[in-house]
A and B are shown apart, each in its own frame.
Chain A
Amino acid sequence: MPYMILKDEATADVAFVVQEKNLKDIFQTSAKAVFNTLVETKSVGKTIVKELYLEETDPEKLLLKFLEEIVYIKDADNMVFSSVEISLAQGHAMILRAQLLGENIDPKKHKLKLDVKAVTLHMFRLQKKKNGWEAKFVLDI
């Protein structure tokens, strides 16, 4: 299981830990954790593609910005997502290019779950571990 919900942490919200071999997969799996909190992703098609370009000084800040952007688009464009394609590049800053694939929210089609208000900074971290990378974050529900 590339991500896990921490059942004993953040009583009113949802805490995740994500473990992957590389940074790209950490971003991809973290995004999927957010998608799955909002909706049964199997019920969502891939008719709309949202292109994202984000840059930050370090990967932890970039991950936070990326997850916040997903939560923002959900409300601003009234969308839920089923999958994501990511590429990362390191220049002066760390650059993320992403394609979010999904649809406009349609209650008669999508199995909607819980709304996500925000990505909290409480316990937010992205760390290099012996065998890869680990991210931890709490979504405000």
Chain B
Amino acid sequence: MATGIKNIGKGVWEIPVTYKEGMNVPARIYATDKLMKGMDEGVYDQITNVACLPGIQKAALCMPDGHWGYGFPIGGVAAFDLDEGIISPGGIGFDINCGMRLIRTNLTYDEVKPKLKLLVDTLFKIVPVGVGGKGFLRLNKQQFKEVIVDGAKWCVDNGYGWKEDTDRIEEKGAIKGADPAKISDKAYSRGMNQLGTLGSGNHYLEIQVAYKNSIYDLKTAKAFGIDQDGQVVIMIHCGSRGFGHQVATDYLHTFEDAMKKYDITVKDRQLACAPFNSKEGKDYFAAMTCAANMAFANRQIIMHQVRKGFSQVFGRSDEEMGMNLVYDVAHNIAKVEEYKVDGKKKKLVIHRKGSTRSFGPGNAELIPAYRKVGQPVIIGGSMETGSYLLVGTDKAMEETFGSTCHGSGRTMSRAKAKHDIRGDKLQKDMEARGIYVKAASMSGLAEEAGFAYKNISDVVEAVEESGISKAVVGLKPIGNIKGTVNILGMIVPFFVLLIVLFFLLIL
């Protein structure tokens, strides 16, 4: 544990400004005693580096799922003054607006179980995954520019979703201020064909079940439309794909040069930044917003495919199956939001890197049904252990700039996890436990084994203990698609080969 760190409240630990030269504010870690004991050493170094950045307000924060990242730790939250503060791609991540989407259904586990393999295989065919990966949409540059300005609304307007969907997305799925002129040609050529693709790594599409004994807050669960025993839901985890990755890469270089101009020094090159109100800062914010909107659109297109896949398998329309969007929320983003600092309301640029917005009840952005209870917070666990739906609280608005955790948080490196288990063994073990996983890259699968992550229940216990969000429903996985290869490419040649052999035999 870091020197001088002390417990300052239930589930909150503070590292004083004396810990490291240059700290402008203290650093605070939200964690239970158990999580603190196992906290990655890299977290202390990285969160205190964040505390040194110019214009930071109150404290640099790390959520209980925090672990070693690059620049900010994963789980990092920081708020900066609009005039004296900075914006940093290292506080957002390369995968701009990586986030979570949750879809409810009125199907039960008993109805889905007999068709689970067919369902997972169908979704695997129609949602492209893995390295590279092209979506089914072929857009020209002008159309793609419309996507990055209008986000999920573009998708709904073009037939890829229901009208009500956009009300159930953070910022209604289109953050204002996106400027396509701030995007490089490289970012366009890298990401234009990837709309509607999942990607790789820890990105996934998962079929889950809510059981009665895992509904912790029935009133809120009812408001979110998940209150039946054995109810099936779908969770999507992905971001802005190559488009967002290139935007972040481009502006990191811009900011490395800008730091000399503005006489800013940082403790880690990945924290390269520029004053938020500088030309460079404004340009990046406008470009990052484009990538964020692309990510909202990406998850919207994937949801469209999911609804289509369910309809194919169950022979009913998506409306009949009640496949409403519960919510879509970002966990890698910078936003201008208003919070109290020293008793006064102030607009701040909030960086969340591996942290989810957690607005409490009464927020005007939420639809009336959610406004009464608070914002849905979607927490993705490992593919073995399960996930959670939480709700935002007033305490988060007061203490953590309306932020909470985003997932389990890794405890083991990819290389170690792969060393400890074979992907094919893991796949068989999971199937024996009733979780059907489709993943052709077995090494990629092994890297996502449950033991490589913190226990998600410990993470949820920590945010409940500190009051920055509340558990609503626990969700158990039954089917998972991991970012690997698309088997459609294998099936088509196989049938072509069969037809050729058939004719050869006849001749």
Q: Select from chain B the residue with minimum beta-carbon distance to A14.
A: B414
Residues B414 and A39 in contact, CB atoms below 8 Å apart: no
B298 located at the interface, meaning its Cβ lies under 8 Å from any Cβ of chain A in the complex? no
Residues B245 and A11 in contact, CB atoms below 8 Å apart: no
CB of A33, distance to nearest CB on chain B (Å): 12
Residues B132 and A105 in contact, CB atoms below 8 Å apart: yes
Q: Select from chain B the residue with minimum beta-carbon distance to A120.
A: B70
In angstroms, Cα B191 to Cα A107, docked, is 19
CB of B274, distance to nearest CB on chain A (Å): 15
The count of residues in chain B whose C-beta lies closer than 8 Å to any C-beta of chain A is: 60
Q: Select from chain A the residue with minimum beta-carbon distance to B416.
A: A7
Residues B249 and A38 in contact, CB atoms below 8 Å apart: no
Contacts of B74 in A (CB 8 A): 11-12
Contacts of B194 in A (CB 8 A): 75
Q: Select from chain A the residue with minimum beta-carbon distance to B191.
A: A75
In angstroms, Cα B316 to Cα A113, docked, is 36
In angstroms, Cα B412 to Cα A22, docked, is 33
Residues A11 and B412 in contact, CB atoms below 8 Å apart: yes
Residues B94 and A118 in contact, CB atoms below 8 Å apart: yes
Which positions 401-448 of chain B face chain A at CB distance < 8 Å?
410-416, 419, 440-441, 443-444, 447
Query: Which one, A72, A79, A112, A141, contacts B484 given CB within 8 A?
Result: A112
Q: Select from chain B the residue with minimum beta-carbon distance to A78.
A: B132
Per-residue CB proximity of A62-103 to B under 8 Å, as 1/0? 000000100110111011100000000000000000000000
Residues A107 and B70 in contact, CB atoms below 8 Å apart: no
In angstroms, Cα B246 to Cα A103, docked, is 22
Residues B131 and A138 in contact, CB atoms below 8 Å apart: no
Assuming the contacts A72-B246, A122-B268, A141-B201, asked whether A5 and B415 have C-beta atoms less than 8 A apart, the reply is: yes
Query: Which one, A8, A108, A113, A124, contacts B269 given CB within 8 A?
Result: A124
CB of B211, distance to nearest CB on chain A (Å): 30
Residues B252 and A107 in contact, CB atoms below 8 Å apart: no
CB of A79, distance to nearest CB on chain B (Å): 8
The count of residues in chain A whose C-beta lies closer than 8 Å to any C-beta of chain B is: 40
A10 located at the interface, meaning its Cβ lies under 8 Å from any Cβ of chain B in the complex? yes
B317 located at the interface, meaning its Cβ lies under 8 Å from any Cβ of chain A in the complex? no
Residues A117 and B410 in contact, CB atoms below 8 Å apart: no
In angstroms, Cα B242 to Cα A68, docked, is 12
In angstroms, Cα B71 to Cα A72, docked, is 21
Which positions 475-495 of chain B face chain A at CB distance < 8 Å?
483-487, 489-490, 493
B200 located at the interface, meaning its Cβ lies under 8 Å from any Cβ of chain A in the complex? yes
A115 located at the interface, meaning its Cβ lies under 8 Å from any Cβ of chain B in the complex? yes
Assuming the contacts A8-B413, A121-B272, asked whether A114 and B485 have C-beta atoms less than 8 A apart, the reply is: no
Q: Select from chain B the residue with minimum beta-carbon distance to A74.
A: B132
Residue picked from A6, A7, A112, most chain B C-beta under 10 Å: A112
A51 located at the interface, meaning its Cβ lies under 8 Å from any Cβ of chain B in the complex? no
Residues B70 and A121 in contact, CB atoms below 8 Å apart: yes
In angstroms, Cα B407 to Cα A12, docked, is 13
In angstroms, Cα B74 to Cα A138, docked, is 15
Residues A72 and B186 in contact, CB atoms below 8 Å apart: yes
Residues B483 and A115 in contact, CB atoms below 8 Å apart: yes
Assuming the contacts A106-B489, A108-B493, A121-B269, asked whether A115 and B130 have C-beta atoms less than 8 A apart, the reply is: yes
A140 located at the interface, meaning its Cβ lies under 8 Å from any Cβ of chain B in the complex? yes
In angstroms, Cα B249 to Cα A74, docked, is 15
Q: Select from chain A the residue with minimum beta-carbon distance to B93.
A: A140
Contacts of A78 in B (CB 8 A): 132, 134, 193
Assuming the contacts A76-B186, A107-B489, asked whether A115 and B246 have C-beta atoms less than 8 A apart, the reply is: no
A sample of 12 more A-B contacts (CB under 8 A), given A78-B193, A107-B130, A120-B71, is: A8-B413, A12-B67, A12-B74, A75-B190, A75-B245, A75-B246, A107-B490, A108-B493, A115-B201, A120-B94, A122-B270, A138-B70
| The 4 A-B residue pairs with the shortest CB-CB distance in the complex, in nearest-first order | A122-B70, A115-B200, A75-B242, A107-B485
* 7 pairs from A and B in contact (CB 8 Å cutoff): A7-B413, A7-B416, A10-B70, A78-B132, A107-B485, A115-B131, A118-B249
